[in-house]
Amino acid sequence: MGKIGVVGSINMDMTVKAERIPLKGETLKGEDLKYIPGGKGANQAVAMAKLGAKVEMFGCVGDDAAGVSLVKNLQDMGVETKCIKTVAGVPTGLAMITVGENDNTIIVVAGTNDCVDIDYVNEIKDSLLECEIVLLQHEIPQETVEYVIELCAKNGVKAVLNPGPARPVKQEILEKVTYLTPNEHEAVILFGEGISFEDMMKKYPEKLVITQGSRGVSTCRKSGEVILVPARKANVVDTTGAGDTLNGAFTVALMEGKDIADALAFANTAAGLSTEKFGAQGGMPTYDEVKEAMGR
Ligand code: RIB
């Protein structure tokens, strides 16, 4: 299997458990405060490495203790980190996460993720273009995301865009992406409210995949048939990183040459398993664990 690249965020997640998500203006008691590796980019890289893929992470960290430990974590997980840049004087990205009632809320402070700029991409271009497929999210500057997608398109490298957190993307960029994986909210930001999810998917068959939380994932086949791949039932502990696991597993399955429905079934199972342990990366399964769960 060829190399998969991720150009994206690397965060330290400051995670706290509460009995529920606080209301506006409310103070709640939290417990179990943990500092653990996260960031949508790094999470997706780790999800793929755990599934046995050859993965390289492209991004930035600060010259602080969080930066050092996050790069070490990626290395320990088997992700190539040689192109990760350490930026002096800017703090490593941080996410403040509240986990409660089978859901979460996240506030991200970008820090060095905002240093993943076009100059950086030009510095790491040779390694990036060795990848067969590149995975991107929306936790680095938008102009960088667009630049990488253009670069991939020009050089015959496939690009998967997981457009979270939600923000608009130029139409010409959407056309150049190989796979697009928004949730329903992100899909509305990308395509507007005047079009149904079904019509969005029919416009981009086997390219647009819309995730629907506990219901599952939908796409439209080239034949025009819209399919829903149901989510796997899980004993949920923490949903943080489930979307990242889904994106990583989907990309690995595509690299293996799986048909889109099979790739989504594999990805759904991996995502479901990932929710059964605490932390964005804590529950990410191995390839054999996904296969075993699919056979059950
Ligand atoms: O998708 C989950 C991730 O979003 C967390 O790990 C957090 O860092 C935020 O980026």
Domains, the chain, ordered by start: 3-20+32-290 (3.40.1190.20)
Residue nearest to atom 7 of ligand 1 (CA): 39
C-beta of residue 57 within 8 angstroms of C-beta of residue 74? yes
- Is there an atom of ligand 1 within 6 Å of 238 CB? no
Q: What's the gap in Å between 241 CA and the centre of ligand 1?
A: 6
Longest distance between any two alpha carbons in the chain, whole Å: 53
Tokens of 29: 């008691």
Q: What is the pLDDT of residue 50?
A: 98
Q: Which two tokens stand for residue 121?
A: 């991409």
The answer, yes or no, to whether any atom of ligand 1 lies below 6 A from the CB of 43, is yes
pLDDT of 213 reads 85
Q: What is the pLDDT of residue 102?
A: 82
Q: Whose CA is nearest to atom 6 of ligand 1?
A: 38
CA distance 257 to 240: 28
pLDDT tens, N- to C-terminus, the chain (296 residues): 799 999 999 999 999 999 999 999 999 999 989 999 999 999 999 999 999 999 999 999 999 999 999 999 999 999 999 999 999 999 999 999 999 988 899 999 999 999 999 999 999 999 999 999 999 999 999 999 999 999 999 999 999 999 999 999 999 999 999 999 999 999 999 999 999 999 999 999 999 999 998 889 999 999 999 999 998 889 999 999 999 999 999 999 999 999 999 999 999 999 999 999 999 999 999 999 999 999 87
**Alpha helices (H) in 65-133, listed in sequence order:** 65-76, 118-128
Q: How far is CA 254 from CA 111, 227, 257, in A?
A: 32, 17, 5
pLDDT of residue 274: 96
- 76 a catalytic residue: no
List C-alpha distances in Å: 6 to 14, 99, 197, 217, 233.
23, 26, 27, 22, 29
Ligand 1 proximity of 9 Cβ (cutoff 6 Å): yes
